[in-house]
Amino acid sequence: MNFQCPGLAIAALLVSAVPVLAANYYIDADKGSDANPGTSQTTPWKSLRKVSASDFRPGDHILLNSGRIWHEPLQLHSSGAANAPIVIDRYGEGPRPRLELNGAFEDAVLVRNIEQIEVRNIEITNHAPQPAVRRGVHILLDNFGTAHHIVVAGLYIHDVNGTNEKKDNGGIIFSTNGPATPSRFDDLRIENNIVWKVDRSAIAGQSYHWPRDHWFPSLNVVIRGNYVEDIGGDGIVPWATDGALVEYNIARHCNRRAGAFNAGIWQWSTDNTLLQFNEASDTHDTRDGEGFDSDYNSRNTVFQYNYSHDNEGGFMLICSPGQRNAAQNIGNIGTIVRHNISHNDRTRIFHMSAVDHTTVEENAIYVGPGLDVQMLLASNWSGWTDDAVFSKNRFYVEGTARYGHASASHPDGTYDIAPGWAPAKNIVFSGNQYFGTQIDKPEDATGSANPRVPTRARDWSGPQFDPARPDDFEAFMAKHKAWLRELMRIEFGEIPESH
């Protein structure tokens, strides 16, 4: 005789009933009415105010009519369930539905203290005559606990003139606050978005939980396939995460207006971050201004198969204050930089300040004619680097490359350089290849040097994209991914499969 637990049977019935109970809600700014039931295309709601004031069930879809414009924010407060998220998306033909805030609201889309939610395929602007704190999308946990499965995908965010005085505004900001209840994301995905002409940050995290004495990192954070261009400050920056994946993103013309220290793609206060198959170019300024940055209070950060080019501040900053403690900053330990390409980056290629146990291996560095760069600059940030190994890298220098430590610093973020590494210590070069003019080349017992630079044909330009034409984005990204992988394959041989 078979017996079944009544409680389990009821629970299974409830789970299977979720999709049955779910509904579609349609919103049409031109032809809708908030007096309508909203559950069909012929009886849509009109306003986002109605959406923000309504409760939704797991599996519900909130669908905005394509080609329509709303001048009001979307503020969500209902959670979905596992395998039954609440989804905000579009319906109908035409351009993405557009939220045009004109600076009247701080956040165009606010996802606050909810989970199991997806926001897709919306256009967002938030521009006013004067800068102020403004965001396209704000994903916020405030003393919430752990929020599961939040997806922001396919958005077209542009013309958000936030203030360049603060990093926590701009395009897509995800933040956790939790002095009473520790809060974090588990399965946060920011994918396939266009972020264009925003201040200050394009895609960036903020967190109360960054210090190590109340460390509570977000998990399973994926930032993938995004295009960011013309950014006041930073491009893409995860904060307070463990195991984040940052891949196939493109960051162009970051640090354009902030007048401060910003970079293209980097992480801060993270463990076990993997940044791969990204392109960062044309980052402005020499106050940082690098394409990539491995920043402090972090362990085991890996940069691989990235393409950096034409950045005013250089390719890679690896840094930490030398003053550190177990309560807050543990330093920058165990960064690995491998199988990356730097092409015509300016000022300095590698810049290291007060970091520990760093490995830089098998990278290809191209310095074009007429460029005079610091190939490796070791500088003082309340301390100096200890233990860095540069091995099997290839330095192709048609201009001039210099090596050494900072002898003086300047307000514009540049440094005078002197030969040797001291007071930095245990910086070892092994098995590298040096082509062209190398000033104060480091000792390298197993390396090789050649004053002639071999000709190496490469397709450096790759596919181009005009963010004013967002409908071309999907095709462009597919072409860019194929081109980037082929560029890496030619340079480094077989490369790993990825998502």
Maximum alpha-carbon separation in the chain? 86
Q: Report the pLDDT averaged over residues 203-222.
A: 97
Q: Report the pLDDT averaged over residues 437-458.
A: 96
Q: Report the pLDDT averaged over residues 136-165.
A: 98
- Cα–Cα dist 26/48, whole Å: 11
The three-class DSSP label of residue 68 is: coil
Query: Which of 99-113, 139-153, 202-216, 485-499 has the least mean pLDDT?
Result: 485-499
pLDDT at 224 over 90: yes
- Cα–Cα dist 159/171, whole Å: 9
pLDDT at 492 over 90: yes
Q: Report the pLDDT averaged over residues 314-327.
A: 93
Supply the pLDDT for residue 324.
Answer: 87
User: Which pLDDT band, with edges at 50, 70 and 90, does 499 fall under?
Assistant: low
Question: What are 258-305's pLDDT values in tens digits?
Answer: 999 999 999 999 999 999 999 999 999 999 999 999 999 999 999 999
Residue 98, CB-side half-sphere exposure with 13 Å CA sphere: 14
- Cα–Cα dist 262/192, whole Å: 23
pLDDT at 482 over 60: yes
User: Which pLDDT band, with edges at 50, 70 and 90, does 8 fall under?
Assistant: very low
pLDDT at 360 over 80: yes
pLDDT at 191 over 90: yes
Whole-prediction pTM value? Answer: 0.95
Supply the pLDDT for residue 307.
Answer: 98
Average pLDDT, the chain: 95
Cα–Cα separations (whole angstroms), residue 421 to 277, 315, 317, 384, 407? 31, 19, 16, 9, 11
Spatial neighbors of 391 by CB under 8 A, at least 6 apart, are 359, 360, 361, 362, 429, 430, 431, 432
- Cα–Cα dist 442/446, whole Å: 12
Q: What percent of the chain has pLDDT over 90?
A: 93
- Cα–Cα dist 271/245, whole Å: 11
- Cα–Cα dist 137/88, whole Å: 13
pLDDT at 436 over 50: yes
Supply the pLDDT for residue 325.
Answer: 85
Supply the pLDDT for residue 456.
Answer: 86
Query: Which of 2-16, 35-49, 132-146, 397-411 has the least mean pLDDT?
Result: 2-16
Q: What is the CA radius of gyration of the chain?
A: 25
Name the strand (E) or helix (H) holding 11: helix 6-21
Give the sign of the dihedral formed by CA 358, CA 187, CA 114, CA 71.
positive
Task: Decide if 273 contacts 304 (C-beta within 8 A).
Answer: no
Supply the pLDDT for residue 156.
Answer: 99
Q: Which domains does the chain have, with CATH numbers?
A: 39-346+457-492 (2.160.20)
pLDDT at 20 over 70: no
Q: Report the pLDDT averaged over residues 347-359.
A: 98
Supply the pLDDT for residue 19.
Answer: 56
pLDDT at 10 over 50: no
